[in-house]
Structure 1
Amino acid sequence: METKSTHGFKIDAGNDRFNEVITFSGGSIACKVSSNDSKQGFCVYDTTKMAKGGPPYHFHYTQDAFFYILEGEFIFKIGDDIFNAKAGDAVFAPRQIPHTFAKIGDPEGRMLMVYQPAGTMDEFYLQASQLPDGTLRDFERLYRIHGMEIVGPPLKFE
């Protein structure tokens, strides 16, 4: 991964900032702006979810999370609030408030995810993509290392 950006740049549609393929939690994640590009200020990911569901209920100690839905439909749980979000909708999850989301329905889902400050989200996604499915203890440790805590399961579907 490049260490810092000293100039503007363009990433073509469908590409990752570093030409890496990151798969995680039933989808793919393409970095558009890395934490190093913004001197840790923020990072942006274009995520495509093929599988229904999403991450465990968790919170970030020092990061706000912003989600902008590009395609499909998602359910978000932020604290005690539940939101349905579809293309064009935006959802904000403040730091230290537990949150999760899940793609619902059959078509592919796609959203931009922005974290501010960026922290170590770049490393988190790279490391998480290398863990085999079903290793919750490893995921809990990885979340903790990167400033997050898992506080509950992913959203369930009947």
Structure 2
Amino acid sequence: MTEHKNETKEIHAHDESNHSHHSHDSRENGGTAHGPGAAATPMRALLRRPEDGESIEVAGVGHFFRLTSEHTEGRFAFEEFTLEPGVIGARPHVHGAHDEYFYVLEGELTLHNGDGEVSVGPGHLLAALRGTPHGFRNAGTETVRGLCLYTPAGYEGYFREVHAAVAAGAEVTDELLAEFRSRYRTTSHPQ
């Protein structure tokens, strides 16, 4: 696991035309992180440079978390991922506490969508909402690169825990993954 500790820049983004008039969150309406009229510092947009993020290698999948719970107050996590040919990213499983959205940038990703497998290329999106079985692998001959959004955030902790266990000498087995998944309300799904 590697944390790229480069300076993260904040940009003050205060454009009233972009604010929702239906929002009840004071930060979106020019307030502060602590409520309307509070004396705290106004929220600022977070700009992450291409090298900013946390790299976590787990079972042949390169995860590069650009945003984690720490950056988004737990709202969501966002990563870039890579899979080399022949790598199983995740066998079919089901999440009970978060949704995942996979977007393919390069290569051909084989997705389990609950009904079976389908291979998709750049521009395809899979929305794996809570309770829906899904999985992914690279059955092709080229590296796959994609994006994944987790909402709410927190599942990045699963990858950190598996990475730490492997770094301490544990072997990646279905039992090990099931143990860690259970901590994040995730279960295996029969194929």
- With normalisation by structure 2, the TM-score equals 0.69
Question: Secondary structure in 2 aligned to 1:68?
Answer: strand
1:46-67 deviations in Å (ceiling 9; x for gaps): 0011142221210100211101
Aligned letter for 1:9? L
Rate the CA distance shift 1:23–1:51 in 2: closer, same or farther, 3 A: farther
Moved over 4 A (4+): none
Distance apart, 1:16 and its partner CA: 4.4
> 1:1-158, aligned counterparts within 5 Å?
7-13=44-50, 15-17=51-53, 20-52=54-86, 53-118=88-153, 120-130=154-164, 131=166, 132-152=170-190
Change (3 A) 1:124 1:134: closer
Q: Is the 8 A contact 2:83 2:137 kept in 1?
A: no
Secondary structure of the structure 1 residue equivalent to 2:179? helix
Q: Give a deviation string over 1:88-108, Cα, whole Å, max 9, x none.
A: 211111111111011121211
TM, length-normalised to structure 1: 0.82
CA–CA distance in structure 2, aligned partners of residues 29 and 16 of structure 1:
13
Structure richer in helix, relative to its length:
2
Structure number with greater Rg is: 2
Which residue matches 2:36? none
Residue 156 (structure 1) aligns with: none
Measured in 1, the distance between the counterparts of 2:155 and 2:181 equals 10
> SS of 2:175's equivalent?
helix
Shift of 1:150: 1.4
Deviation at 1:75, TM superposition (A): 1.3
1:9 is displaced (CA, Å) by 2.9
Q: Which letter does structure 1 place at the counterpart of 2:163?
A: S
Report the 3-state secondary structure (helix = DSSP H, G, I; strand = E; otherwise coil) of the residue aligned with 2:71. coil
RCO (CA 8 Å, sep 6+): is it higher in 1 or 2?
1
1:87-141 Cα shifts (integer Å, max 9, x gaps):
12111111111110111212111110111112x2121111112334433222111
Structure 1: runs of 5+ lacking an equivalent: 154-158
User: 2:17: which partner in 1?
Assistant: none
- Which residue of structure 1 lines up, in the alignment, with residue 30 of structure 2? none
In 1: Cα distance, 2:111 partner to 2:150 partner: 16
